[in-house]
C-alpha cells in the first residue's frame, strides 16, 4: 500500500511539474493571443495579465487586415504563400535528387562532394546572402518574388543529409531488382525509393515550410517594394517610432501568421516524429 501511495504521489508531482513547465513554455503564445484582444490604451497597463480589461479584438483585427502604407495584409499573406509553397517544392525536390545521387549513384569524388555539401551547414546564412545578392543583382531579379524563391531551389544540406541516411538504410538489391525489370534511375527513385523515404521527405517539407515562412533576413535584403513584402517583413511596418504604433494590429496579424504554421505542424506531426525516430534508429 505504501508503495502504491509513493508511486501515486510521484505521478502527481510529475504531472504538476509537467503542467507548470508546459504553461511557462506556452505563456508567450498565450500572451500574444490575449494581447491581440486588448485595446492599445490598456495593452501595457497590466502587461502580464492574460485577461483583457478592455476588449478590442474586432478593431485590432480589422486595422491589422487594412495593412500598412496602403497595402492590405492579404497582399503580404499572398506573397508569403507563393514564396513558401514554391520554395518548399523546389528545396525538397532538389534535395531529394541530390540525396539520391550521393547515396545510390557512384561517381568520381562522390564522398568529397558530399563532404563539401555538409560543410555548408557550418556557414552562417548571413554570409551566403552576399554572393546571392550579387548574383541576383546581375540577373536583375532584386525586388522580385523570384529572388526569395530561387536560393531555395539549390536544396538544403540538412535535408540532403537526412534523406541520405534513409537511402543508405534501403538495400541496394531493390535497385538491382528494379533494373532487371527495366526501370531506369528516375523510375527507381519515384516508384521504389520515394515511398520508403516518405517520412524523411515529409520531415524536410515541415522544416522547409517553417524556415521559409518565418524568414525575415532575405526579404529584408532582397526586397524594397512594400507590395512585395512577405509577412515577417511586413509586421515590422506596424511599428513606426515617428508616428502611431499599431500594437493591436501587430499582435493580431502575428496571430494570423502563426495559424498556418500551427496547422501545418498539427497535420504532419506524426510524420515528423516518425522521420526523426527512424533516422535516429538508422544512425
Identify whether 36 is part of a domain.
Answer: yes
Domain boundary (26, 42, 62) is at: 62
Residue 281's pLDDT is 42
Same domain, 21 and 91: no
Domain boundary (14, 35, 62) is at: 62
- Whose grid coordinates read 517539407? 205
Residue 21's pLDDT is 92
User: How much of the chain, in percent, has pLDDT values that exceed 70?
Assistant: 94
Same domain, 34 and 129: no
- Which domain CATH number covers 99? 1.10.3720.10
| CA–CA gap between residue 52 and residue 42 (Å, rounded) | 8
Domain boundary (62, 80, 101) is at: 62
Residue 158 contacts residue 276 (beta carbons within 8 Å):
no
pLDDT digits (tens, 9 = 90+) for 165-194: 888 888 888 878 878 877 788 888 888 888
> Cell numbers of 267, please?
497535420
Angle at 183 between CA 114 and CA 198, to 5 degrees: 55
Would you give the distance in Å from CA 75 to the centre of its chain? Answer: 20
Domain hosting 29: range is 2-62
pLDDT digits (tens, 9 = 90+) for 69-127: 788 999 999 999 999 999 999 999 999 999 999 988 888 888 899 888 888 888 888 88
Does 280 have pLDDT greater than 50?
A: no
> Cell numbers of 94, please?
532538389
Same domain, 196 and 273: yes
Mean pLDDT, the chain, integer: 85
> Cell numbers of 263, please?
496547422
Same domain, 91 and 114: yes
Identify whether 67 is part of a domain.
Answer: no
Same domain, 270 and 184: yes
pTM for this predicted structure: 0.84
Residue 183's pLDDT is 79
CA nearest to 245, candidates 33, 28, 44, 30: 44
Same domain, 80 and 38: no
> Cell numbers of 78, please?
499572398
Rg from Cα positions in the chain: 24
Same domain, 140 and 193: yes
Residue 114 contacts residue 157 (beta carbons within 8 Å):
no
Same domain, 93 and 29: no
Same domain, 83 and 7: no
> Cell numbers of 169, please?
538504410
- Please tell me whether residue 71 adopts helix, strand or coil conformation: strand
CA nearest to 281, candidates 163, 202, 165, 164: 165
Residue 237 contacts residue 219 (beta carbons within 8 Å):
no
Q: With DSSP H G I counted as helix, E B as strand and the rest as coil, what are the percentages for the chain, rounded to 5?
A: 75, 0, 25
User: Can you spell out the DSSP letters for 34-93?
Assistant: HHTTB-TTTTTTTTT-SS-SSB-HHHHHHHHHH-BTTB-HHHHHHHHHHHHHHHHHHHHH
Residue 107 backbone class (left: φ over 0; alpha: ψ -120 to 50; beta: rest): beta
Identify whether 89 is part of a domain.
Answer: yes
Identify whether 142 is part of a domain.
Answer: yes
* Number of domains, the chain: 2
Amino acid at each position: 500500500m505504501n508503495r502504491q501511495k509513493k508511486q501515486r504521489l510521484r505521478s502527481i508531482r510529475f504531472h504538476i511539474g509537467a503542467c507548470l513547465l508546459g504553461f511557462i513554455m506556452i505563456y508567450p503564445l498565450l500572451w500574444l493571443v490575449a494581447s491581440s484582444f486588448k485595446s492599445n490604451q490598456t495593452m501595457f497597463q497590466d502587461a502580464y495579465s492574460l485577461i483583457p480589461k478592455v476588449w478590442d479584438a474586432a478593431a485590432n483585427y480589422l486595422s491589422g487586415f487594412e495593412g500598412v502604407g496602403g497595402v492590405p495584409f492579404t497582399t503580404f499573406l499572398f506573397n508569403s504563400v507563393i514564396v513558401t509553397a514554391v520554395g518548399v517544392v523546389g528545396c525538397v525536390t532538389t534535395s531529394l535528387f541530390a540525396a539520391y545521387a550521393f547515396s545510390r549513384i557512384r561517381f568520381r569524388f562522390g564522398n568529397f562532394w558530399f563532404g563539401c555539401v555538409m560543410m555548408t551547414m557550418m556557414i552562417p546564412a548571413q554570409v551566403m546572402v552576399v554572393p546571392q545578392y550579387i548574383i541576383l543583382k546581375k540577373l536583375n531579379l532584386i525586388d522580385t518574388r523570384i529572388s526569395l524563391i530561387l536560393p531555395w531551389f539549390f536544396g538544403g544540406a540538412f535535408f540532403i543529409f537526412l534523406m541520405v541516411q534513409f537511402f543508405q538504410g534501403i538495400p541496394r538489391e531493390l535497385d538491382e531488382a528494379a533494373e532487371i525489370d527495366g526501370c531506369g534511375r528516375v523510375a527507381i527513385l519515384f516508384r521504389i525509393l520515394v515511398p520508403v523515404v516518405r517520412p524523411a521527405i515529409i520531415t524536410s517539407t515541415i522544416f522547409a515550410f517553417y524556415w521559409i515562412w518565418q524568414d525575415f533576413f532575405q526579404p529584408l535584403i532582397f526586397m524594397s517594394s512594400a507590395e512585395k513584402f512577405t509577412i515577417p517583413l511586413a509586421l515590422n511596418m506596424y511599428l513606426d517610432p515617428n508616428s502611431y504604433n499599431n500594437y493591436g494590429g501587430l499582435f493580431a496579424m502575428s496571430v494570423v501568421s502563426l495559424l498556418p504554421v500551427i496547422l501545418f505542424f498539427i497535420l504532419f506531426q506524426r510524420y515528423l516524429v516518425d522521420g526523426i525516430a527512424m533516422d535516429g534508429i538508422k544512425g
